[in-house]
């Protein structure tokens, strides 16, 4: 629970983080004043605590407001400069408020303990504590800013990795090379390949949007295989076996395409003679069954790591979508590599979005 609050509020420099820091400093300030009152035998400690907490909360608000006002300007500064500038702003606000509060508010503590402007030196502890609050706020600001920047960098990096996990860069460049070679000899095929490529990358960009029907997923997979057949020619043969009852089943977007890309990359490309990739989709007992098979080349290249990463990515996405109620089996024989998926049968009206 604390991590959730910290992620939503502390790192955004507002909300519960400021409130918790303010309350802590206010209570500490009250305890110090209560101790001073107890030693002077002038005021009950409980009254001292109740008197100083509101004042410290007010100082916190005054320190917080200018930092929020200049937040964007400070954020663009280097860390050290931002730290010093924030400290000056918060400290000045806290000091001015502490010096002026005695002119307008005199509770039990301020009537028994010396307070500015009568004896400014006696208020040094008060001002120091209030300024320390500003410093704590500055530290929080500096840490939050650094974490926000790091989070943005990680987010960008993760998006790039996710995109690469879905479609390998070599596919994009190979497709462009194939299209370039067809522009003069077969412009219609080149135009169709560009349209298929655009549709595929449009789906890649919005792949985490929601579930899609198996019919739509198969259509994108067919477009992908059309491009690969354009590049590999007769070396690649694709067989589709999609039962009618499975057409309306729903699965996460881009589930088939990575499996087919693996099949091409690991089963067809290394083989001089090529082979057949089969895709079977059927339904039985409220379960959706998907099977993708590809030939195993005689000379296996060192590509197993990429294969495992892609399959792991698919497994995690499916388990997250179906709450773990999914089975992915991999069977590797001497002649065929088989990947099977067994997932709950969901239709569009009942699917999670």
pLDDT tens digits, the chain, 353 residues: what are they? 444 434 443 334 444 455 455 556 555 655 666 566 555 545 565 665 565 556 656 666 666 666 666 666 665 666 566 666 666 666 666 566 656 655 555 444 444 444 444 444 344 445 555 555 555 555 566 666 666 777 777 765 565 556 545 556 667 777 788 888 888 888 888 888 899 888 888 877 765 556 889 999 999 999 999 988 988 889 999 999 999 999 999 998 888 988 998 899 889 988 888 899 999 999 998 999 999 999 998 766 555 555 567 788 788 878 888 888 899 999 998 889 999 999 999 875 544 44
Q: Is-above-0.85 flag for pTM?
A: no
Q: Looking at residue 230, what is its pLDDT?
A: 85
Q: Looking at residue 77, what is its pLDDT?
A: 64
Nearest C-alpha neighbor of 127 from the set 147, 160, 146, 102: 102
Cα dihedral: 138, 152, 317, 164 (round 10) = -160
**Structural domains present in the chain:** 2-163 (no CATH), 169-344 (3.30.565.10)
Q: Is the CB of residue 59 less than 8 Å from the CB of residue 105?
A: no
Q: Looking at residue 48, what is its pLDDT?
A: 56
Q: Looking at residue 152, what is its pLDDT?
A: 74
* SS3 category, 255: coil
Q: What are the tokens at 124?
A: 């040094």
Q: Looking at residue 11, what is its pLDDT?
A: 38
Nearest C-alpha neighbor of 332 from the set 297, 301, 306, 302: 297
């Amino acid at each position: 629970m604390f991590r959730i609050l910290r992620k939503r509020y502390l790192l955004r420099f507002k909300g519960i983080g400021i409130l918790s820091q303010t309350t802590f400093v206010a209570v500490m300030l009250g305890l110090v004043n209560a101790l001073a009152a107890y030693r002077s035998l002038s005021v009950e400690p409980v009254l001292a605590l109740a008197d100083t907490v509101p004042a410290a909360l007010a100082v916190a608000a005054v320190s917080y407001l200018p930092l929020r006002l200049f937040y964007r300007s400070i954020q663009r500064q280097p860390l050290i400069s931002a730290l010093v500038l924030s400290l000056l702003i918060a400290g000045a606000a806290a000091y001015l408020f502490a010096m002026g509060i005695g002119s307008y508010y005199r509770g039990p503590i301020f009537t028994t303990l010396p307070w500015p402007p009568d004896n400014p030196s006696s208020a040094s502890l008060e001002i120091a504590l209030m300024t320390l609050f500003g410093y704590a706020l500055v530290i929080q600001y500096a840490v939050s800013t650094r974490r926000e920047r790091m989070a943005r960098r990680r987010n960008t990096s993760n998006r790039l990795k996710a995109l690469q996990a879905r479609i390998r860069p070599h596919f994009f460049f190979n497709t462009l090379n194939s299209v370039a070679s067809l522009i003069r000899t077969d412009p219609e095929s080149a135009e169709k390949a560009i349209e298929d490529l655009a549709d595929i990358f449009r789906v890649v960009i919005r792949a985490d949007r929601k579930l899609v029907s198996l019919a739509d997923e198969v259509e994108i997979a067919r477009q992908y295989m059309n491009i690969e057949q354009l590049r590999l020619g007769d070396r690649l043969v694709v067989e589709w076996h999609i039962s009618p009852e499975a057409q309306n089943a729903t699965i996460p977007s881009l589930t088939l395409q990575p499996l087919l890309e693996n099949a091409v990359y690991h089963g067809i490309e290394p083989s001089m003679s090529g082979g057949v990739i089969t895709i079977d989709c059927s339904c039985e007992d409220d379960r959706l069954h998907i099977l993708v098979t590809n030939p195993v080349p005689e000379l296996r290249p060192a590509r197993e790591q990429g294969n495992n990463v892609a399959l792991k990515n698919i497994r995690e996405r499916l388990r997250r979508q179906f709450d773990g109620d999914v089975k992915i089996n991999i069977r590797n024989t001497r002649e065929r590599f088989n990947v099977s998926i067994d997932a709950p049968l969901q239709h569009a009206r009942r699917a999670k979005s």
